[in-house]
Amino acid sequence: MTDWRPSAKREALEARAVLLGQLRDFFEHRGVLEVETPLLCSAGVTDAAIEPFVLGLADGRRYLQTSPEYPMKRLLAAGSGDIYQICKAFRAGELGRQHNPEFTILEWYRLHTNHYQLIREVAELISVVLARKGWQIWPWQTLFKTVFDIDGLSATSGELRALAKSRLDHVPKDLDHQGLLDLLFTHCVEPVIADWGVVFVVDYPASQAALARVMVDRPIPVAARFECYVDGIELANGYWECVDSRELERRFEADNDQRRALGIETRPLDSALLAAVGSGMPECAGVALGVDRLLALQLGLASISDAISFDWQAS
């Protein structure tokens, strides 16, 4: 017999409804406009680590959004002012205790703000929802050196591979420099900060900038971005946004070069986003936060499946 029942209990459904109300109240009181953008987009992200769901339609391909970032930035360029959105996002192949291919995301943007300033607002939202009053801020380089006693920003790929082999049972042979940094951070650093409460990691390696600007005034340039962890769970990812359309286009092309090297399909560049940024997108910072993870943390659930009415297995 087919199991038709939902994956979440009624208590979780009730808590989700309350949480959505809390989030909307939080931004309404701060004068941030709620917006809605399309779930189906004509271009997908180029990041080789993110795979969208692709739909073949009569008039061409469409991509289910992996986040509302690109159309929200077009709204910013058109003069929307501070905005936020709560919506569904989709990522193929991401399934696990903290991942579901279909998930709920909260994303917001603040004009004339950098990533350091935005951290305070993220911490204030967490305080409201999770009743957490304090937080820590750690530069990525300092945290990496604290855990490994090595400077991760200047380490060579050989040094990183040797370090990974000394700490982990299995290190894939095909991992490049970036992959080694990710492996060491997720498998060795994240467990260390699991009992530190609310932790913001800032100033990531420039190679991990994504769409954040790179701060070149440092001895070693770093990405102007942060990630927020709560009890070791990655909850939010924020940028001081890069507003240079030529630099973004260069990064998108580099992503596609990496896709070719990995033997995976390249993605069309989002020409509308590049045109919007090129038209004069305002200085701003933005952040994306996982609502399902936030609810699971609020309820003390071990898996986000228990926070979603119908998870991937039940949908």
Instruction: Please give the pLDDT value at position 2.
Output: 79
Burial of 201 from C-beta contacts in 10 A (0-12 / 13-18 / 19+)? buried
Residues 6+ apart with CB under 8 A from 247: none
User: pLDDT value at position 28?
Assistant: 98
Quote the domain boundaries for residue 218.
10-135+197-307
Asked if residue 153 belongs to a domain, the reply is no
User: In this structure, is residue 1 part of a structural domain?
Assistant: no
Q: Per the domain annotation, does 63 fall within a domain?
A: yes
In a domain, 22, yes or no: yes
The string of pLDDT tens digits covering residues 210-243 is 999 999 999 999 999 999 999 999 999 999 999 9
How many structural domains compose the chain? 1
Positions of the chain with pLDDT lower than 50, given as ranges:
none
CATH of the domain at 131: 3.30.930.10
Q: Is residue 226 part of a domain?
A: yes
Q: For 92-103, how does the pLDDT look when each residue is reduced to its tens digit (9 = 90+)?
A: 988 889 999 999
Alpha carbons 190 and 146: distance in angstroms, whole number: 12
Residue 81 lies in a domain: yes
Residue 265 domain flag: yes
Give CA–CA dist 285/119, Å, rounded: 10
- pTM of the full predicted structure? 0.95
CA distance 307 to 292: 6
| Contact yes or no for 19/298 (Cβ under 8 A) | yes
Q: Are 315 and 26 in contact (CB under 8 A)?
A: no
Does 178 map to a domain?
no
